[in-house]
């Protein structure tokens, strides 16, 4: 849960995503963000929440996420029974942003509770309390997922997907990614450029069976470790090669590329 952040999260704009998000918010439209791991989806939502001065409630979706986890439930304690709002309900009451990260990981019966909020009704029905909450104009529903992980069992139904304004994210162009790595890792432009050049080379290794390529997040981790005094090879092993694969041969192949760039 992020609530209202005191300092603005750094975000490097790439296209018109800020204007599109803000216009969707002004028109009461929910937003769907698609993109690979570590490309900046969550940071973008945090940045926009700060920019719009709205409380932000973030939910990491998973297989066991229930509707009650989102909406709320009755709890029993020494003082008796009371109702506790879930993050979705709190965001509606406060007129903030509710961000569901990797929404396709949630069960379909959980996602269905979003439908009345994601259309013109903008309502949330609390079955346990009998309340019907009307979302205020400032409330916004945002969801994200990685299209590369979708399959027949885990994907958004058209009836859900077509309620959203959709935005597609990717990894930044080289110049932008260098600025991001330099800013986030607090390193000089030369090291940032070297790390990004390595990341670009690793992303071209399509002959290896990698579920994901090197993300901007991993490049930032690598630069931070190097800045702290770790050798480039050790940093790349810990922050790039090992996170990308469990296969020793693939890790060795990735480190071969590292040795070319930092040898």
Distance CA 263, CA 253 (A): 15
Considering only residues 238 and 213, tell me which one the structure prediction assigns the higher pLDDT: 238
Q: Is the pTM of this model over 0.75?
A: yes
**Candidate from 147-161, 169-183, 205-219 with smallest mean pLDDT:** 147-161
Residue 91: how many CB atoms within 10 A of its CB? 30
* Residue 201, Cβ density class (10 Å: 0-12 exposed, 13-18 middle, ≥19 buried): middle
Dihedral sign, Cα of residue 35, residue 37, residue 40, residue 46: positive
pLDDT tops 70 at residue 2: no
pLDDT tops 70 at residue 183: yes
Mean pLDDT of the residues in the chain = 91
pLDDT tops 50 at residue 232: yes
C-alpha 50, offset from chain centre: 16
**Candidate from 13-17, 80-84, 151-155, 248-252 with smallest mean pLDDT:** 151-155
Instruction: Give the pLDDT band of residue 260 (cuts 50, 70, 90).
Output: very high
Instruction: Give the pLDDT band of residue 128 (cuts 50, 70, 90).
Output: confident
* Residue 139, Cβ density class (10 Å: 0-12 exposed, 13-18 middle, ≥19 buried): buried
The CA-based diameter of the chain, rounded to the nearest angstrom, is: 66
Residue 172: how many CB atoms within 10 A of its CB? 19
Question: Which DSSP string do the residues of 142-160 spell out, in sequence order?
Answer: EEEE-GGG--SSSS--HHH
pLDDT tops 70 at residue 217: yes
pLDDT at 208: 63
Helix (H, G, I), strand (E, B), or coil: what is residue 221? helix
Instruction: Give the pLDDT band of residue 129 (cuts 50, 70, 90).
Output: confident
C-alpha 80, offset from chain centre: 38
Which regions of 36-174 does DSSP assign to beta strands (E)?
56-60, 72-77, 80-85, 97-101, 123-126, 131-134, 140-145, 165-168
Q: What is the DSSP letter of 107?
A: -
pLDDT at 150: 57
pLDDT at 145: 92
pLDDT tops 80 at residue 38: yes
Residue 121: how many CB atoms within 10 A of its CB? 13
Residues 81-104: pLDDT tens digits?
Answer: 888 999 999 999 999 999 999 998
Distance CA 77, CA 79 (A): 5
pLDDT at 4: 59
Tokens at 109, concatenated: 């019966």
Do the beta carbons of residue 199 and residue 36 sit within 8 Å?
no
Do the beta carbons of residue 249 and residue 186 sit within 8 Å?
no
Residues 48-76: pLDDT tens digits?
Answer: 999 999 999 999 999 899 999 999 998 88
Distance CA 174, CA 195 (A): 11
């Amino acid at each position: 849960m992020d609530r209202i952040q005191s300092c603005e999260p750094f975000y490097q704009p790439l296209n018109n995503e800020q204007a599109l998000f803000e216009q969707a918010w002004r028109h009461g439209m929910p937003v769907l963000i698609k993109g690979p791991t570590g490309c900046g989806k969550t940071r973008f939502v945090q940045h926009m929440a700060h920019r719009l001065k709205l409380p932000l409630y973030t939910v990491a979706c998973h297989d066991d996420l229930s509707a009650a986890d989102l909406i709320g439930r009755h709890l029993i304690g020494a003082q008796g029974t009371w109702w506790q709002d879930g993050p979705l309900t709190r965001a509606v009451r406060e007129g903030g942003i509710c961000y569901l990260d990797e929404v396709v990981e949630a069960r379909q019966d959980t996602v269905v509770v979003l439908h009345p909020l994601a259309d013109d009704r903008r309502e949330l029905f609390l079955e346990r309390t009998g309340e019907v909450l009307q979302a205020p104009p400032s409330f916004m529903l945002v969801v994200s997922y990685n299209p590369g992980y979708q399959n027949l069992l885990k994907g958004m139904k058209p009836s859900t997907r077509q309620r959203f304004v959709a935005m597609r994210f990717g990894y930044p162009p080289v110049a932008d990614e260098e600025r991001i790595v330099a800013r986030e890792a607090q390193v000089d432009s030369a090291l940032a450029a070297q790390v990004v050049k390595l990341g670009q080379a690793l992303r071209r290794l399509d002959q290896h069976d990698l579920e994901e390529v090197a993300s901007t997040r991993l490049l930032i981790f690598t630069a931070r470790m190097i800045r702290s005094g770790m050798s480039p090879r050790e940093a790349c092993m810990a922050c790039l090669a090992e996170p990308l694969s469990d296969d020793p041969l693939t890790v060795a192949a990735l480190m071969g590329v590292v040795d070319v760039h930092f040898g």
